[in-house]
Amino acid sequence: MTEQNTRLGILLMIATTFVFAVQDGISRHLASEYNVYMVVMIRYWFFAAFVITIAGRKAGGIRAAAATSQWIVQTLRGALLVTEICVMVAAFTLLGLVESHAVFTCYPLLIAALSGPVLGEKVGWRRWTAIGVGFVGVLIILQPGMSVFQPAAIVPLVAALLFALYGLLTRYAARKDSSATSFFWTGTVGSVLMTAVGMWFWEPMHGTDWLWMGTLCLTGALGHYLLIRCYEVAEASSVQPFAYLQLPFAATIGLMVFGETIRPNVALGAGIIVAAGLFTLWRERARRRA
């Protein structure tokens, strides 16, 4: 991998995190006005159309993209991701972008912690220490036992757990299926499931909000396209640390657009989580090199 490709991959990852942060801001706005299930359903319709279009342009077409011997795993992956999106969007309406993303940043630590029992990977004492430190950060944010603690603060933690399980199953599926196949199943399964749920919660949408919905769909497709390009030109271990930039991007939108605030314990806890996550990524990269 050339240095130029790594630099381009980093730039693409930064652009990806920014686009996804904008998508989260739009999701927060729409979900505060309309039902979460309907918003996610329409978003997934566009996402499914996007993945089908991408699959149709590759060698072998849609049939090759859909071919898998792990349809149960792929279906479960799609179900986990669409459930995580619904839970996370609900968290935006309950807690805002700042606190939701501050808690959600612990998902790489959950992946590291669960990679042993789920995938059979070895997790050394250094990574277990980093995982423990990271969850101290989570506790600092959630403040359990404090009079100000809200049960709603658990919602983004549930979303992080769902996304971690999705990530682990994606690793598992990659042992036999290509990324194109996993991407195809992610979009199509999610669209079918959300249609089955969201169709019962349809609400009339105002004209201007349809523009926001269209923008939400476009940012979703653009974000995934940038992410695909990112992993095509650079190693995942080189660019993954920059995925944490979604936290400051989303926090900035929360502060400037929605008038949210950053409590000191949230800033401290998020800093600890990010530091622990970066150390975990570094240890994984070092282990693979060894």
Mean pLDDT, consecutive 10-residue segments, the chain of 290 residues? 68 93 96 94 94 88 91 95 96 92 90 80 79 86 62 88 92 87 93 96 91 94 86 77 89 93 89 88 72
Residue 119 has a pLDDT of 74
pLDDT tens per residue, range 147-185 = 445 778 789 999 999 999 998 898 888 889 888 899 999
Tokens 């619904």 identify what position? 86
Tokens 């658990």 identify what position? 154
Residue 70 has a pLDDT of 92
Residue 228: its H or E element: helix 207-233
Residue 149 has a pLDDT of 55
Whether 273 contacts 136, CB under 8 Å: no
For 147, phi then psi, to 5°, come to -65, -20
Whether 92 contacts 163, CB under 8 Å: no
Give me the count of residues in the chain. 290
Tokens 């920059």 identify what position? 242
What tokens were used for 85? 């999106």
Tokens 């999705």 identify what position? 166
Residues 6 or more apart from 180 whose CB is under 8 A from it? 54, 55, 58, 64, 65
Tokens 């800033």 identify what position? 267
Closest CA to 51 of 227, 191, 187, 223: 187
Per-domain boundaries in the chain:
3-122+151-261
Whether 250 contacts 21, CB under 8 Å: yes
Report the interhelical angle of 97-104 vs 246-257 (nearest 10°): 170
Neighbours of 194 (CB within 10 A): 26
